[in-house]
Amino acid sequence: MKSSVIIVLGEKSIAIARQVQTVIPNATIYGLASRTQTADHTYDKFSETVSELFSQGHAIIGICAAGILIRSLAPLLSDKRTEPPVIAIAEDGSAVVPLLGGLNGANELARAIAKSLQIQPAITTTGDLRFQTSLLAPPANYRLLNSDEQAKTFVADLLAGARVKLIGEATWLSDSNLPFADDATHQIEVIAEDVKLEAIASKLSSKYLVYQTESSLNPSTIGKLSIIGTGPGSAKWMSPEVKAILEAATDFVGYKTYVNLVKGFTKGKTIHASDNRVELDRARHALELATEGKSVVIVSSGDAGIYGMASAVFEVVDQDSPKWNHIDIHVAPGISAAQAAAAAIGAPIGHDFCTISLSDILKPWEVIEQRLSAAAQADFVIAIYNPISMQRKWQLPAAKETLLKWRSPNTPVVLGHKMGRKGENVKVITLAELEPELADMQTVIIVGSSKTKVLELGDRLRVYTPRKY
């Protein structure tokens, strides 16, 4: 099946469409040319466009009335085994209705979309409703070996009261509401991908379904690896996309302190926590889990692409095993500590700024010092990460000395400590007052430019950098 498309008729529907994109990042938004301004792609005729996209195999998600979708596609309907999903979403996001493509994941897609919109999907498929899984449309890493007629009869028997025994392991089955019993008349067996079909063919019947795992047989079905940034700490700063990824993940990988930040999402999931200084090993472990067909999330605080795990993963993929080239790797952005501290005090990074880490674990101090000097000379606002640790107490005074070559001692400095977490504190001092005892590894330091100002607004201080020099 090709990528999904989201069809909208007006600009008011774009917000809902963007929300859907957090669940389906590769989906393209098609907007009616005369009524939309910010769609990814525009069209002029609704019925012709929907019909063409459907015929090409794209999943259709229409933020419109169900009727207009049905009337547009009715002449094309012929084989439900091959038809892509078609889903209607109410313009206000109050309803998600799968219309077609139940055998190709429409119900699962509708559930994911509805979850992101914080509503219940309007699933009408009896088997899916009762059993909370689809035996006729297994997940991507499984293949049903039975014929359509055998599978349909099997489901009909269960709906009529028959019970089933599960042989093998598959969480999408064991976690469902299927009527399991050891003395059941019907059986479902899950076999490994290396089992020869001749060995199982004689078992296939309307009372015996067999699913074969196929993660390695088809590289496109290898699991997914998402690298997310939680934000500095508070759950309120997590994006809807990050929350959806955490909900869907089967395995959580990360530094144990960061995994604890998302413990509200880890119930029933497998946790792979580790120490803070094993980034490359952590990346390799996550990639290996993904090759097993699992939905893996690597948890970083702040933004995963800013001194986080995203670059570690791509570094490993670049240097190590070719087998990881087929893994679907997705990076979801988060709010950084510098952004959080800046917002808490005003707008100190309202003009050109940069970030520099004082940690010399991965780069020599000479490089750090050179970059500090260049940024200070260019009059950038500078956000300093990893300013001090138990082993590194001399670097912050050295950085201060370098900055004072180009900045006034009265330059405003913002200290953001434990942003978004218990003990959060934001303080404004001058560059001359910056001392090691004021910071630790949980502090981000924002050093203002020559134009950065401090305002006294009532009993509060505000810091901002003007937009114009």
Rounded CA-CA distance 21/113 in Å is: 9
pLDDT confidence of residue 197: 73
- Fold of the CATH domain 338-464: 3.30.950
403-432 burial, b if ≥16 CB within 10 A, otherwise e?
beebbeeebbbbbbbbbbeeebebebeebe
pLDDT confidence of residue 217: 44
**Which of the residue ranges 71-80, 158-167, 448-457 would you say has the lowest mean pLDDT?**
71-80
pLDDT confidence of residue 147: 84
pLDDT confidence of residue 219: 46
Closest by Cα among 134, 264, 263 to 211: 134
Rounded CA-CA distance 449/404 in Å is: 12
Measuring CA to CA, how many Å separate 316 from each of 194, 281, 363?
A: 29, 9, 18
pLDDT digits (tens, 9 = 90+) for 341-374: 999 999 999 999 999 999 988 889 999 999 999 9
What is the pLDDT confidence band of residue 69, given thresholds at 50, 70 and 90? very high
pLDDT confidence of residue 335: 93
| Mean pLDDT for all residues in the chain | 89
pLDDT digits (tens, 9 = 90+) for 287-298: 988 877 788 999
Residue 135: count other Cβ atoms within 10 Å of its Cβ. 23
Q: How much is the pTM?
A: 0.55
pLDDT confidence of residue 220: 45
What is the pLDDT confidence band of residue 269, given thresholds at 50, 70 and 90? confident
Q: CATH assignment of 222-335, given 3.30.499.10, 3.90.1150.10, 3.40.1010.10, 3.40.50.720? A: 3.40.1010.10
Rounded CA-CA distance 367/370 in Å is: 5
Rounded CA-CA distance 233/261 in Å is: 6
Packed helices 240-248 and 14-23: angle between N→C axes, nearest 10 degrees: 30
pLDDT confidence of residue 221: 46
Q: 3-class secondary structure for 171-186?
A: HHHHCCCCCECCCCCE
Confidence check: pLDDT of 104 > 90:
no
Paired tokens of 165: 């025994």
Sheet containing strand 41-43, strands side by side: 41-43, 28-32, 2-8, 58-63, 86-89, 96-100
Q: Cα torsion for 344, 348, 349, 352, to the nearest 10°? A: 180
Average pLDDT of the segment spanning 377-382: 96
What is the pLDDT confidence band of residue 126, given thresholds at 50, 70 and 90? confident
What is the pLDDT confidence band of residue 9, given thresholds at 50, 70 and 90? very high
Measuring CA to CA, how many Å separate 59 from each of 69, 193, 358?
A: 12, 28, 48
Confidence check: pLDDT of 218 > 80:
no
Please tell me what DSSP assigns to residue 234: -
What is the pLDDT confidence band of residue 134, given thresholds at 50, 70 and 90? confident
Which helix (H) or strand (E) segment holds residue 464: the answer is strand 460-464
For the chain, domain boundaries: 2-124, 142-213, 222-335, 338-464
Closest by Cα among 358, 340, 357 to 349: 340
Residue 188: count other Cβ atoms within 10 Å of its Cβ. 20
Query: What percentage of the chain reaches a pLDDT higher than 90?
Result: 55
**Which of the residue ranges 103-117, 373-387, 438-452 would you say has the lowest mean pLDDT?**
103-117
CATH (residue range 2-124): 3.40.50.11220
What is the pLDDT confidence band of residue 321, given thresholds at 50, 70 and 90? low
